[in-house]
Structure formats: structure tokens, C-alpha cells
Amino acid sequence: MSFLKKLRKKSIDIAVIAVGDAACTIGAKFIQNLKENKINVKSLAINTKNNFESKISDPYSDKFWFAEQYSSTNRDLELAKKLFEERKEALTDKLKNVVFYRIDDKKREEKLALHLIIASGGGTGSAGSMIVSKIIKDITGESPTIIFIVPEKHEPSVVQYNTATALFYLGFDSLGPNCPTILFDNEKLISVDKTLNIKDALEYCNNYLANTLSTTILAALQESSHEEFNAGLNDFFKSFSSEAKGIGVIISVDKTFESLEKAQNIRFSDIFFKELELTSSLTADITKARLGFLSIIAPHSYQTTFETKKIVKRFEKGSIKVSLTSLEEPILLIRGVITGLHPDFIERFWDIFERARDSRKEVLIQEEQIRNMKLVFSN
């Protein structure tokens, strides 16, 4: 996608904090992609010990091994919390060096900075995302954005419990940081290509997430000349930062066509909603999103504008901003994020909570508190 590497008039700073095994692997590829495209990145890898030095030593600015006496936390959420708390002061010092501003700094409107935490449902990922997000909010005054890798349905109940506990605290607990949380569903992606073995499937998913994250940011940096659909980097930032309360998903559509004419006349709104259902955690009703940013890159035609209007109309209850960029090649590329969704519209969110509750009777997660939230999701 060399066309995403053209000169850009705007810029954004990205801080990437990867917590746990899977997140460190994904983060390394993501950071590498950003650096190759001249994006200013600070980064921190967090794990129990130096298990993955050969994989992650180059991309990351810094590392924090918080429990080198353990090979892992073995999915033990309480153990991970305890170990993090014991090293909290040292962790805070590391995080102060990776963020782009402090709470007392005078903000520069022309310079945007996005703080991302990548995590999953292991003990380290779940506990780490909870503790790191709170520290970052204390340092910067704003909630970081969480990229959370959703566990597959067959994974052990303890992983479902860890995930449910983390998701509740991150986005819905009154004592938590109230972070916008982007769900990434491996299970949906793996089901797209059932010929892959487990190892190859996980590698595919990790690369897919890293590439989708980086190309989404690059697409947001493109300049649109369309009169009506000319959303910019600030619109992307609002949909991907602390203004985007609740749950969200990243959008990725890539299609190549036989000819330019066919690409100009394709009904890509149908493709968009079908792909979204196939590769994300969302149910069919996705039009309740409060915020969203879409970058659509396609050949110029009346049909292209018409299809873009159809997509926007479906999201008329929220503020969905679109950047439409013409590219005279037989391709369709859509990148973006839909956020501010109440969990009622995300089937996998409740599936995780139910599996955690049914298999661990002592779980004390207040599902009704989430279901009844009105203020955060009122339009």
C-alpha cells in the first residue's frame, strides 16, 4: 500500500505500551510499521521477564520486566496484580518517560498524541492493562486507549474471567480510568480461513492486527479533497481517544477488482457491512455508535460518493466522520474505527461475561451497572 506513504501535511505522536506475551509480539510489528512510515513513536514492552528479547528488542524504546523470578503469571490475575503493585513506583517512572505530555503541560492543538495500551486476557495482560491505564491517566490527565484482544470461546474460564474483570474496570467501573476500549476478535478472523493450523492462525491474527492498526493511522493522515467527505486527523483522534467512551472496533476492508471500471461501480456499502460483521465483535446492529472515523480510498465516480452516503446514513444517530480520497486504481480500501458503543450491541462482550460468571460463581462483576448506563452513551 505504497500510496499511503505519500507526503503528509499533518502528524501524530503514538505511544505504544504492550502488556503480556501476545501484546508484545503484536506491538513489535505495529511499532516497526509506524517507524517505517516515519511516525514518531515511543514504546514500552511490559512482561514478567525477558522471555522475548530476540523478538522485541529492536522496535521498543524501553522494556519493563516486573517479575523476573517468574516465567509467567500463569493466568493468575491476583498474582499479577500483586507483582505489579510491588513494582508500581518503577513502572510509573517508565511510563513517565513514554508518554508525550503530563497533566500540567500546556496542550498544543496542532500536535496530537495518542497513548495506546495493547493487552489480552492473560494474568499479565489483564492486570497490567488495569494498572498501567490508571497510572497513565494520573500522569497525563486523560484516559489511554485500550486495544484488547478478545479470548476465543474455547479458552479456559480463567481467561474469560480475567478479560471480563479487566473490561469492566477499564471502561465501566466508577473507580477505573474510563478508557475507550477497542475489541479485537481473533476467533472471527481465524474462522475466515479454516485451513490454517493454530500456530499459523495466531501469527496471521497478530500480523493482521498490527497491520490494520498502522494502516488505519496512515489512512487518517491522508488529505481528502472531497467537498463533502473531507474528515481529517482531528476527527480520527476524537474517535480513537478519551472522547470515545465505551466499546469500539477497528474497521478494515481491502478489495482488488479486475478493472478500474468495475471498481468505480461496485456497491461497496454492502461489502463494508458484510466485512464488518465477519471480522469484528459486533452484532448486526452497529448503527448505535456515538463516534466514528472512516477513511475510504477508491476510484473517483458518482457511485463511490453514493455508496459513501449510504454508509453514513446508516450511522445517522452518531457522529461518523468520513474522509473520501480518490485513487485511480482498481482497489477499495477502508480503514477506521467505530466507538462509543454500549456493550448491548456487542455479542462477544456479553459472551465473555457469561462464561466468566457461569464457570466462576464468585465473580462480582456488576453487569447491570453496565447495562443501565445512560450518561456515557447518551447522544
Average pLDDT over residues 140-145: 94
pLDDT of residue 202: 73
> Do residues 21 and 47 make contact, with C-beta atoms less than 8 angstroms apart?
yes
pLDDT digits 0-9 by tens, 334-345: 998 888 887 776
pLDDT of residue 273: 85
330 or 76, greater pLDDT: 330
pLDDT of residue 310: 92
pLDDT at 259 over 50: yes
- Alpha-carbon distance of 294 to 337, in angstroms, equals 7
Average pLDDT, the chain: 82
Beta-strand pair 12-19/112-120? parallel
pLDDT of residue 51: 62
pLDDT band at 364 (very low <50, low <70, confident <90, very high): very low
pLDDT band at 15 (very low <50, low <70, confident <90, very high): very high
- Alpha-carbon distance of 141 to 134, in angstroms, equals 10
pLDDT digits 0-9 by tens, 29-52: 999 999 988 899 999 999 987 665
pLDDT digits 0-9 by tens, 205-228: 788 888 888 988 988 888 887 889
pLDDT at 6 over 60: no
Average pLDDT over residues 160-175: 88
| Predicted TM-score (pTM) of this structure | 0.87
User: Which of 23-32, 51-60, 74-83, 242-251 has the least mean pLDDT?
Assistant: 51-60
Out of 129-143, 209-223, 269-283, 364-378, the most confident range is 129-143
Name which of 25, 21, 40 is nearest 217 in CA terms: 40
- Domains along the chain? 9-179+343-371 (3.40.50.1440), 248-341 (3.30.1330.190)
Instruction: List helix spans (H) across the chain.
Output: 21-36, 53-56, 77-86, 88-98, 123-140, 157-171, 186-192, 198-220, 233-240, 260-264, 268-279, 302-314, 347-359, 367-371
